[in-house]
Amino acid sequence: MENSLISYKKAPISTTHIRLYIAMILGQITCGYGLGITGTALGQLPTDIHINGLWQGLLGAGSLFGLAGSALMGRLADEVGRRKMLMLNMYLLALFSLAQVLTTNLVVLLGLRILIGLMIAIDYTVGNALLVEWLPANKGGKFQSKLIIYWTVGFILAYCAGIIIHTTSSHNWQFILASAAFWGLVTAIYRTAYPLPASPAWLANQGRTKVARKVVQKHLGKRWGLPLRMRQKQPQNQVTWRLLFSPRYRLQTVVGGLFYASQAFAFFGISIFLPLLLMNLHLNESNISGLIYNGCLLIGVLVGGYVFRVVRRRSFLIGTFLLAAVALLAMVLLRQVQPTVQIILFGLFAVILSAGLVLDYPYPTELFDDQVRASGVGLCITISRFGAASGTFLLPVITAGWGVYWAMLVCVGALVFGGLVCWGWAPETSPRFK
Contact 213, 220 (CB under 8 A): no
Residue 434 lies in a domain: no
Which residues, 6 or more positions from 258, have their beta carbon under 8 angstroms from its beta carbon? 383, 417, 418, 421
Q: Is position 218 within any domain?
A: yes
Buried b or exposed e, range 380-409, using 16+ CB within 10 angstroms? bbbbbbbbbbbbbbebbebbeeeebeebbb
Question: Rounded to an integer, what distance in angstroms lies between the CA atom of residue 17 and that of residue 28?
Answer: 16
H-state helical runs in 81-208: 83-99, 106-122, 128-134, 140-164, 172-178, 180-193, 200-205
SS3 93: helix
Instruction: Say yes or no: 192 and 328 in one domain.
Output: no
Q: At what angle do helices 83-99 and 70-80 cross, to 10 degrees?
A: 140
How many Å from the N-terminal Cα to the C-terminal Cα in the chain? 32
Verify that 166 and 248 share a domain, yes or no: no
Which of 212, 236, 260 terminates a domain? The answer is 236
- Total tally of structural domains belonging to the chain: 2
Q: Which amino acid is at 381?
A: I
Q: Cβ atoms within 10 A of the Cβ of 108, count? A: 13
Give the residue from 214, 236, 258 where a domain finishes.
236
CA angle 40, 44, 50 (to 5 degrees): 120
DSSP H or E segment with residue 73? helix 70-80
211 lies in the same domain as 272: no
The SS3 call for residue 7 is strand
User: Is 431 inside any structural domain?
Assistant: no
Does 101 fall in a domain? Answer: yes
Strand partners, 330: none
Q: What is the pLDDT of residues 128-158, one digit of tens each?
A: 888 988 988 777 777 887 888 999 899 889 8
Q: Are residues 178 and 257 in the same domain?
A: no
Residues 257 and 389 in one domain: yes
In whole angstroms, what is the distance from residue 387 CA to residue 230 CA?
35
**Are the C-beta atoms of residues 226 and 216 closer than 8 Å to each other?**
yes
- Residue 6, strand partner residues: 224
- 114 falls within a domain: yes
* 433 within domain boundaries: no
One domain for residues 159 and 256: no
For residue 19, the model assigns a pLDDT of 95
Instruction: Render each residue's pLDDT in the chain as its tens digit; 434 residues.
Output: 556 778 888 888 999 999 999 999 999 999 999 988 887 787 676 655 677 666 777 787 788 788 777 777 877 877 777 888 999 999 999 999 999 999 888 899 999 999 999 999 898 888 888 898 898 877 777 788 788 899 989 988 988 887 787 766 677 888 999 999 999 999 999 999 999 998 888 888 888 888 888 988 899 888 888 887 777 655 555 667 788 888 889 999 999 999 999 998 998 777 765 655 666 555 555 567 667 778 899 999 999 988 988 899 999 999 999 999 999 999 889 888 777 787 788 889 999 999 999 898 889 888 988 778 878 888 888 888 888 877 777 776 777 678 788 888 999 999 999 999 999 999 998 877 76
What domain range is 371 assigned to?
242-425
Question: Do residues 121 and 214 both lie within one domain?
Answer: yes
What confidence tens digit (pLDDT) does each residue in 158-185 have? 888 877 877 666 778 889 999 999 999 9
Looking at the fold, whether 122 and 246 belong to one and the same domain comes out as: no
- Answer yes or no: is 317 within a domain: yes
Q: Are residues 253 and 399 in the same domain?
A: yes
Question: Is residue 219 in a domain?
Answer: yes
- The pLDDT score that the predictor gives to residue 277 is 63
CATH number, domain at 85? 1.20.1250.20
Distance of CA 33 to the CA centre of its chain: 12
Q: Within this chain, do residues 291 and 208 fall inside the same structural domain, yes or no?
A: no
DSSP reduced 3-state for 237? coil
Check residue 396 and give its pLDDT.
67
Q: Which of 236, 253, 282 is the last residue of a domain?
A: 236
**Residue 419 sits in the same domain as residue 285:** yes
- 194 and 45 part of one domain: yes
Is 15 exposed, middle or buried, given 0-12, 13-18 or 19+ CB atoms closer than 10 A?
Answer: exposed
